[in-house]
Amino acid sequence: MSRLLIISNRLPLNVERKGDKLNFQPSLGGLATALGAFYKSRPSLWIGWPGIEQEKIKKGEEREIEDKLAEERCYPVFLSEKDVDDFYFGFCNQTIWPLFHYFPHYVEYDPVLWQAYQRVNEIFADAIVSVAKEDDIFWVQDYHFMLLPKLIRDRLPRATIGFFLHIPFPSYEVYRLLPWRREILEGLLGANLLGFHTHDYVWHFLNSTRNLLGYSTGMGWITASDHVSKADVFPIGIGYEHYSSIAGSPEVDAEIKKFREKLGDKKVIVSVDRLDYSKGIPNRLEAYGLFLEKHPEYREKVVFILVIGPSRIRVQRYAELKQQIEEMVGTINGRFGTVGWTPLEYIYNPIPYHALLGMYRMADVCPITPVRDGMNLVAKEYLATKIDGRGVLILSETTGAARELGDAIMVNPNNIEEIAQAFADALAMPEKEQIERNRAMQEIIKRYDVSRWAGDFIDKLHETVKMETGAVPEPLPDKTRRELTGQLQKARARLLLLDYDGTLVPFAKTPEEAKPDAELLKLLSELNKDARNEVVLISGRDKNTLDRWFGSLKTAMVAEHGVWMKVKGGDWGKMSGLSDDWKGEARAIMQLAVDRIQGSLIEEKDYSLAWHYRRADPRISERHIREIVNDLLNLTANSNLRVLEGSKVVEVKSANLNKGSTAQHWLSRQAWDFVLAIGDDVTDEDLFRALPEKAWSIKVRPGLSAAKFSLDSPDEVRALLKELV
């Protein structure tokens, strides 16, 4: 089994200075707990910042830290105070965090912080490479290291790299606000596999990639010029069995007993969050106040335990939030409290594990109301401790967890009345209903627990790498070329499927200028004369143009990517079941593009429309083109139409028309003992994929392809065809 290198900002062990001594404590928070068991179950090394700034480490202590961490299979990367300030508290938590959680008004756009982000990602890349071995698998965690996949890739081009984002990926309209949006996407795309909690986040990420980098993104695959990456959904889970078994332990029973001695038989509401403005804590408190106001019958009968884990307090916004929460707690307790009853118990501290589980298990209601949250593990932890099935989860619809936990009482975190009502509904919910809802949700989180999550990610990563390998065809070597011609000579029935533009002729400025020259016509005519050869010219062009150019050759042809077909010496026949009633709207979008982008033009064919921009000013912004493609994609979503991006052309046509189905048609006409297909752009990929295993396939120009070999240019293709003559 290859070794797994997990890279995250914090290590599972945190180092602190206590006077003269160093103190090693398990780190708080989701990731360390979540991945802890998994990384110990296989060969691995965890790389991260140990939690103490370089300036606070005395001579010789670095070694002590390294040795102690090595016992736990951890490797520290040391950072200076300035790096921690500008990178972690700066770019990570004052730029990325607020932007990705839809708080654009909180975002600092500071080039100094951006430089620190780049610098620390570089420091990590160097440290990682210094300990990496051949065959290691790299799994980079979270928003702190979005440049790292590419930085590792630059240093180790063949590495297997995964990346997981624990926070939301925001919609394109928000993401585009970032001045360094392209660099971050390019950084991420160094990974073979990118994981997100929900389909929405994947969709937002692909959308940004398409719009900002112009890469094509079909079925979660992102195709850049020289590599592909895959984006997929992996909703993180918790160690369900662990939580649920500890929740029933005598230690947790003892904690509950202690709580009950103080709380009596009051109904208990518990919430647990890291201090963060994304968690919607003020909204929750306001709603609790409103609930007490509207439902006096619950006064003195209910207690809300508000647990907040200290976090990022050095960032101004967090300090302000803490103050705001404390003022609100004071106001509610002052307004509703009585002698002997405090409506809100406020704890601003880490809670020991058994006490935390005791609170969860005891809680009748757990309100989780983030305005935005990547997933939210507390929701899952709460449910896992519900051994008897009783308790009610209130969950904000803007958490990733809401996608899985549909049986919770769902709330809009900005609707204070709705949350207040949810408190009342939760407290009044019949036990039978509570149990039914919780059992259904428990099944879900039990099945996809954290080890499934991690195992699934690593399996998919291997799969992705396997699928990519061989995705870039090698240039046709001389020896293989001789083999190809040798096979052709022996064969009696030969099928040659040849794309036209970009394959037999170089690209021209207008479709009309790409007319075949005398040399090409002669070459095709000679190939065609041999009765053993069936030469099929496959083109996206209309049949009249093809007739005009090649009619005299009597060769077999396919026009408009398969709408029209003609056998050797025969006539045109049309594919059945096609409609063109969609053209009006697509034409309107393309016309707008023609009006805006000078030199671009629309080519209209019987069942497709193509917008060509080869002749447009080469400086036209990629953004303009992305916008037009996006409009066409929106128009054709959920329809039987396909938007195809070729070389400087965007085409809309029926989805069941492609060169793959065309190839199948010709392949099934008779038994062939030699098949060769040559093509150059994305539309030819369908053709390559449809070929039988033994067929020869060649892509013109280097790049990713399903073809087996590549040639550099139409000239090289012609040279090969001459040899075949």
Window 27-46: residues binding ligand ADQ (CB under 6 A): 28-30, 33
Measured from the CB atom, the residue of 88 and 611 that comes closer to ligand ADQ is 88
What angle in degrees, to the nearest 10, is found between the helix axes of 181-188 and 199-213? 120
Would you say 159 and 194 are in contact if contact means Cβ atoms under 8 Å apart?
no
Near ligand ADQ by CB under 6 A, which window of 24-32, 43-51, 407-415, 530-538?
24-32
Among 11, 74, 378, 488, binds ligand ADQ (CB under 6 A): 378
Is residue 126 among the annotated active site residues? no
Measured from the CB atom, the residue of 272 and 524 that comes closer to ligand ADQ is 272
Q: Residue 638 to residues 333, 563, 661, 683: CA-CA distances in angstroms?
A: 53, 22, 21, 21
Among 307, 524, 589, 652, binds ligand ADQ (CB under 6 A): 307
Mapped onto helix, strand or coil, the DSSP state of residue 558 is strand
Near ligand ADQ by CB under 6 A, which window of 26-34, 465-473, 562-570, 627-635?
26-34
Calpha distance 110→91 (Å, rounded): 8
Measured from the CB atom, the residue of 375 and 643 that comes closer to ligand ADQ is 375
Residue, CB closest to ligand ADQ: 309
> Angle CA(244)–CA(247)–CA(248) in degrees, nearest 5?
100
Among 375, 420, 465, 691, binds ligand ADQ (CB under 6 A): 375
Among 167, 419, 420, 535, binds ligand ADQ (CB under 6 A): 167
Residue 199's nearest CA partner among 169, 240, 239 is 169
Measured from the CB atom, the residue of 97 and 607 that comes closer to ligand ADQ is 97
**For residue 696, what is the enclosing H or E element?**
strand 696-700
Measured from the CB atom, the residue of 314 and 694 that comes closer to ligand ADQ is 314
Calpha distance 273→378 (Å, rounded): 8
- Please identify which residue in the block is written with the tokens 């063109």: 580
Residues binding ligand ADQ: number (CB under 6 A): 22
Q: Which listed residue (136, 407, 499, 501) is catalytic?
A: 499
Q: Least separation, in Å, of the C-beta of 223 and ligand ADQ?
A: 28
**For residue 468, what is the enclosing H or E element?**
helix 450-468
Window 330-359: residues binding ligand ADQ (CB under 6 A): 350-351, 356
Q: Least separation, in Å, of the C-beta of 697 and ligand ADQ?
A: 43
Q: Can you state the percent helix, strand and coil of the chain, rounding each to 5?
A: 45, 20, 30
Among 84, 120, 252, 272, binds ligand ADQ (CB under 6 A): 272
Q: Least separation, in Å, of the C-beta of 166 and ligand ADQ?
A: 3
Window 183-212: residues binding ligand ADQ (CB under 6 A): none
- Nearest-10 Cα torsion for 591, 593, 594, 596: 130
Calpha distance 95→110 (Å, rounded): 8
Measured from the CB atom, the residue of 371 and 565 that comes closer to ligand ADQ is 371
Q: Least separation, in Å, of the C-beta of 305 and ligand ADQ?
A: 11
Q: Least separation, in Å, of the C-beta of 355 and ligand ADQ?
A: 9
Among 83, 381, 468, 681, binds ligand ADQ (CB under 6 A): 381
Q: Least separation, in Å, of the C-beta of 425 and ligand ADQ?
A: 23
Measured from the CB atom, the residue of 73 and 274 that comes closer to ligand ADQ is 274
Calpha distance 572→558 (Å, rounded): 9
Calpha distance 75→217 (Å, rounded): 36
List all residues 6 or more positions away from 587 whose beta carbon is below 8 Å from its beta carbon.
Answer: 602, 604, 609
What is the chain's alpha carbon radius of gyration, rounded to the nearest angstrom?
Answer: 31
Q: Does residue 455 interact with ligand ADQ by CB under 6 A?
A: no
Near ligand ADQ by CB under 6 A, which window of 45-53, 367-375, 438-446, 465-473?
367-375
Residue 375 structure tokens? 């997933």
Q: Least separation, in Å, of the C-beta of 268 and ligand ADQ?
A: 16
Q: Residue 226 to residues 462, 703, 710: CA-CA distances in angstroms?
A: 19, 6, 14
- Please identify which residue in the block is written with the tokens 């993401």: 175
Q: Least separation, in Å, of the C-beta of 368 and ligand ADQ?
A: 8
Query: Is 297 exposed, middle or buried, given 0-12, 13-18 or 19+ CB atoms closer than 10 A?
Result: exposed
Measured from the CB atom, the residue of 307 and 556 that comes closer to ligand ADQ is 307
Q: Does residue 178 interact with ligand ADQ by CB under 6 A?
A: no
Near ligand ADQ by CB under 6 A, which window of 181-189, 272-280, 645-653, 696-704?
272-280
Among 267, 274, 452, 574, binds ligand ADQ (CB under 6 A): 274
Q: Does residue 236 interact with ligand ADQ by CB under 6 A?
A: yes
Among 377, 454, 476, 535, binds ligand ADQ (CB under 6 A): 377
> Angle CA(84)–CA(170)–CA(174) in degrees, nearest 5?
95
Distance from chain centroid for Cα 117: 21
Helices (DSSP H) in 156-217: which residue ranges?
Answer: 172-175, 181-188, 199-213
Among 376, 533, 555, 683, binds ligand ADQ (CB under 6 A): 376
Would you say 227 and 161 are in contact if contact means Cβ atoms under 8 Å apart?
no
Near ligand ADQ by CB under 6 A, which window of 25-33, 415-423, 537-545, 567-575?
25-33
List all residues 6 or more positions away from 65 whose beta carbon is below 8 Å from its beta carbon.
Answer: 15, 22, 50, 52, 57, 76
Calpha distance 164→198 (Å, rounded): 12
Q: Does residue 315 interact with ligand ADQ by CB under 6 A?
A: no
Q: Does residue 374 interact with ligand ADQ by CB under 6 A?
A: yes
DSSP at 91: I
Among 373, 404, 560, 681, binds ligand ADQ (CB under 6 A): 373
> What is the per-residue binding string for ligand ADQ in 514-543, x denoting contact by CB under 6 A?
------------------------------
Count of Cβ atoms closer than 10 Å to residue 56 Cβ: 12
Mapped onto helix, strand or coil, the DSSP state of residue 69 is helix
What residues make contact with ligand ADQ under the rule CB under 6 A?
Answer: 28-30, 33, 166-167, 236, 272-274, 307, 309, 350-351, 356, 373-378, 381
Instruction: Give the catalytic positions in this structure.
Output: 499
